[in-house]
């Protein structure tokens, strides 16, 4: 009871710190630094060595939050391993993974052994204890960051042989490192307790791994049962609860075996949760996508809690005396990654240029590595926290430097396809239509009636001549190359519409996305199998097979709203207006005193749609969707223009 009463103020204080951690993390991201660095920094500042908002005892009381978060991290690690995505390049991925594991584990272990005399918490240890610490460090140094890699790949829209291999290795590595860590934890425990290595020990180790795997399969079954429930609000809390239950089970099993059996029986909770996440995600008969979505949507608060507690737990006095060692270990890890990835890539027959630069993609570490470090701190409390402080400092270096190197190498191998810069508004609304047909002409006339400057580009016109269309500007073009798009001033167009074949449409949309950053890419789709390709470009897709049915449905359900959107309501229209007036920046919609016949439907900012209300404040660059009379819309358009 006293412990519970003591925990309440600690949790309240931590809640306030966590809220501050979220904002500081966002500030770090705006500076170009990793989000988790901000969370760690907040924990360090609030911890017992700086502001002392959390004492050492308070940080120890929050260990249960770390265990809850660790279970989540292990679930996420397992869910990121999609078998269908890696099996096509399994030979290359397997050989490169093997090279990285063997070299990093070997050199990392040797480095800790050689540096033991310079580490205060290892100086008094015998060789067996030093070896136990070294093999744990070597295992953690193997870890990568799938979330970091996926974030960079999505940001650069990277695709190609190099990217596929790197992503496959990075994702599989989490499963490998957790398994190796489970084995090394048992070996380390045996070394520290002077258990002899015998056939009995090997059988015990095999029994521990088998039990962990079976419990992981059982946990996956429980998760699938929860996913079938009709109460979505309870699913995520239950996942956290059963994940924490796995840690409690592992702890109780260890204590019970120590007290009543001639040996300690160690279950590995991270391995159990990772197997459960992998099985659920790769089982097509169940709601695997829902499980991944739940983990993704709730990741941020869990990471805030975990990394903030981790930062508060860091022993800065240990870090002050061991930072040169951290730099040395960081250097050893980089060398290990270069050697391991080169040997593995060469054995797999990968291009030699890729083998020489692939190491740049494997530096980043994050959640799993930090989780394993904190697991050591909990499992071996005598020296574990000092060990975790050293390893976390290495991981932070990897997390800060790794993403920059990854971005560089993706550009270096030519597999980056980032979005170009959106053109500034030049005062006129320009639309460029590709395709010479009746729909193109009708669309051009319709847009022109609303004040758009419209041109129709066509290769057919270059071959067969320009048809007699006095009210439509038709431009003959030789091809669909970047040079041709530049001659059309496509970089100045607010909208590009493609009415060609799917491959031709994709060619135009991809060039516009990468080189011009065009906001509105509209394409007519022929084959539904190509939907995802266009969706990745942010294109607005019109599927002729379903568009008419959808339109008819909306006329039945919402005839007035559909008539407005279709421009069929007499004297009324719906338009998107870009707010460029600096004088209106920060003004609430209610303070604009809009005409009584006008309504703001939505505000789009930074690619996200905001559900607007009277107190929504407009920012320069916002795209505002409004409905009203043509006269009122014209007045608002003039007010939104930059005042010169």
* Alpha-carbon gap, residue 504 to 315, rounded angstroms: 59
CA dist 338 → 332, 356, 361, 366, 406 (Å): 10, 8, 10, 19, 14
| pLDDT of 112 higher than 90 | yes
Cα(287)–Cα(201) distance, integer angstroms: 40
Extract the tokens encoding 343.
């040997």
Mean pLDDT of 59-78: 81
Containing 600, the helix (H) or strand (E) segment is strand 599-605
**What angle, rounded to 10 degrees, do the helices at 288-297 and 269-281 form?**
130
Checking if the pLDDT of 107 tops 90, the result is: yes
Rounded CA-CA distance 461/463 in Å is: 5
Predicted confidence at residue 137, as pLDDT, reads: 92
What is the signed CA dihedral for 46, 49, 51, 56, rounded to 10 degrees? 60
CATH 3.40.50.880 fits 562-640, yes or no: no
Q: What is the pLDDT of residue 288?
A: 59
The stretches of 558-627 forming alpha helices (DSSP H) are 559-565
What pLDDT is attached to residue 452? 85
Residue 293 CA, chain-centre distance (Å), reads 12
> Distance between CA atoms of 581 and 587, rounded to whole angstroms?
11
Residues 6+ apart with CB under 8 A from 428: 453
Closest CA to 83 of 172, 174, 209, 152: 172
CA atoms within 13 A on the CB side of 484: 16
Q: What is the DSSP letter of 516?
A: I
**CATH 1.20.1530 at 64-374+381-412, yes or no:** yes
Q: Pick from 503, 436, 500: which is nearest to 464 by CA? A: 436
CA distance 596 to 64: 56
SS3 assignment, position 23? helix
Q: Which one is the CATH code of 430-542: 3.30.70.260, 3.40.50.970, 3.40.50.720, 3.20.20.70?
A: 3.40.50.720
The pLDDT confidence band at residue 372, using thresholds 50, 70 and 90, is confident
Please state the domain extents for the chain. 64-374+381-412, 430-542, 562-640
- Which residue from 172, 200, 374, 203 is spatially nearest to 274, judged by alpha carbons? 172
> What tokens appear for 193 in the block?
């307790």
Distances (CA, A) of 623 to 19, 366, 388, 593, 603: 30, 36, 48, 18, 6
Per-residue pLDDT reduced to its tens digit, 41-68: 898 898 888 888 888 788 778 878 878 8
- For residues 599-620, give the mean pLDDT: 77
pTM for the model: 0.67
DSSP 3-state assignment of 127? helix
State the SS3 of 214-231. Answer: HHHHHHHHHHHHHHCCCC
Helix (H, G, I), strand (E, B) or coil at 540: strand
Are 412 and 344 within 8 A, CB to CB? no
Across the range 64-79, mean pLDDT stands at 82
Query: Distance between CA 109 and CA 135 in Å, rounded?
Result: 5
Q: How far apart are the first and last CA of the chain?
A: 69
Q: Kindly state the tokens that stand for 603.
A: 């505000």
State the DSSP code for 421.
P
For residue 521, count CB atoms less than 10 angstroms from its CB and return exposed for 0-12, middle for 13-18, buried for 19 or more: buried
Work out the percent of the chain whose per-residue pLDDT is above 90: 16
Residue 81 tokens read as 């391993």
Residue with tokens 């979220």: 22
Find the mean pLDDT for residues 410-416: 85
Better pLDDT: 379 or 284: 379
Distance from C-alpha of 266 to C-alpha of 253, rounded to nearest angstrom: 7
| Tokens describing residue 363 | 């530096």
- Predicted confidence (pLDDT) at residue 337 exceeds the cutoff of 90: yes
State residue 57's pLDDT score: 81
pLDDT band at 254 (very low <50, low <70, confident <90, very high): confident
Q: Nearest to residue 601, comparing CAs of 555, 636, 631, 635?
A: 636
pLDDT at 39: 85
């Amino acid at each position: 009871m006293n412990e519970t009463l003591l925990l309440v103020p600690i949790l309240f204080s931590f809640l306030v710190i966590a809220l501050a951690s979220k904002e500081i993390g966002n500030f770090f991201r705006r500076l170009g630094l990793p989000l988790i660095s901000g969370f760690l920094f907040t924990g360090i500042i609030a911890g017992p060595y700086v502001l002392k908002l959390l004492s050492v005892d308070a940080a120890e009381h929050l260990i249960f939050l770390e265990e809850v978060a660790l279970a989540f991290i292990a679930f996420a690690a397992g869910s990121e391993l999609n078998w269908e995505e890696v099996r096509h390049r399994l030979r290359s991925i397997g050989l490169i993974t093997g090279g990285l594991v063997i070299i990093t584990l070997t050199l990392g272990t040797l480095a800790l052994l050689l540096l033991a005399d310079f580490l205060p918490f290892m100086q008094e240890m015998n060789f067996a204890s030093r070896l136990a610490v070294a093999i744990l460090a070597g295992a953690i140094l193997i870890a990568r960051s799938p979330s970091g890699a996926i974030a960079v790949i999505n940001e650069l829209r990277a695709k190609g042989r190099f990217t596929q291999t790197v992503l496959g290795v990075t994702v599989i590595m989490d499963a490998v490192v957790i398994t190796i860590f489970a084995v090394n934890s048992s070996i380390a425990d045996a070394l520290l307790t002077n258990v002899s290595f015998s056939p009995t020990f090997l059988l015990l180790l095999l029994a521990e791994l088998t039990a962990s795997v079976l419990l992981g399969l059982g946990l996956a079954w429980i998760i699938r049962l929860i996913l079938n429930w009709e109460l979505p609000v309870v699913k995520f809390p239950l996942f956290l609860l059963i994940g924490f239950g796995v840690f409690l089970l592992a702890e109780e099993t260890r204590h019970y075996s120590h007290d009543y059996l001639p040996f300690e029986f160690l279950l590995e909770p991270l391995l159990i949760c990772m197997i459960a996440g992998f099985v659920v995600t790769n089982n097509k008969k169940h709601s695997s996508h829902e499980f991944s979505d739940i983990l993704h949507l709730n990741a941020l608060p869990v990471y805030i809690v975990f990394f903030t507690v981790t930062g508060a737990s860091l022993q800065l006095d240990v870090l002050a005396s061991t930072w040169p060692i951290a730099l040395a270990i960081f250097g050893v890890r980089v060398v290990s990654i270069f050697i391991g990835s080169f040997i593995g890539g060469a054995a797999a027959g990968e291009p030699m240029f890729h083998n020489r630069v692939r190491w740049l993609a494997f530096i980043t570490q994050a959640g799993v590595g930090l989780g394993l470090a904190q697991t050591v701190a909990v499992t071996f409390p005598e020296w574990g926290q000092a060990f975790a402080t050293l390893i976390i400092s290495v991981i932070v270096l990897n997390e800060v430097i790794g993403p920059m190197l990854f971005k560089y190498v993706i550009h270096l191998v030519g597999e980056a396809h980032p979005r170009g810069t959106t053109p500034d508004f030049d005062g006129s609304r320009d639309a460029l239509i590709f395709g010479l047909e009746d729909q193109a002409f009708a669309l051009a006339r319709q847009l022109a009636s609303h004040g758009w400057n419209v041109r129709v580009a066509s290769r057919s016109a270059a071959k067969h001549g320009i048809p007699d269309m006095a009210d439509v500007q038709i431009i003959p073009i030789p091809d669909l190359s970047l040079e041709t798009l530049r001659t059309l001033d496509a970089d100045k167009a607010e909208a590009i519409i493609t009415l060609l074949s799917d491959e031709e449409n994709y060619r135009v949309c991809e060039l516009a996305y990468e080189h011009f950053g065009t906001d509105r890419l509209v394409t007519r789709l022929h084959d539904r199998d190509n939907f995802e390709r266009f969706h990745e470009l942010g294109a607005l897709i019109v599927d002729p097979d379903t568009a008419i049915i959808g339109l008819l449905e909306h006329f039945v359900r919402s005839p007035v709203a559909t008539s407005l959107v279709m421009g069929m309501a007499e004297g009324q229209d719906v338009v998107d207006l870009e707010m460029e007036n600096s004088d209106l920046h920060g003004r609430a919609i209610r303070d604009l005193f809009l005409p009584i016949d006008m309504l703001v439907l939505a505000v789009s900012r930074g690619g996200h749609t905001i559900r607007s209300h009277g107190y929504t404040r407009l920012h320069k660059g916002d795209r505002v969707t409004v409905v009203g009379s043509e006269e009122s819309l014209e007045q608002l358009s003039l007010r939104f223009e930059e005042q010169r």
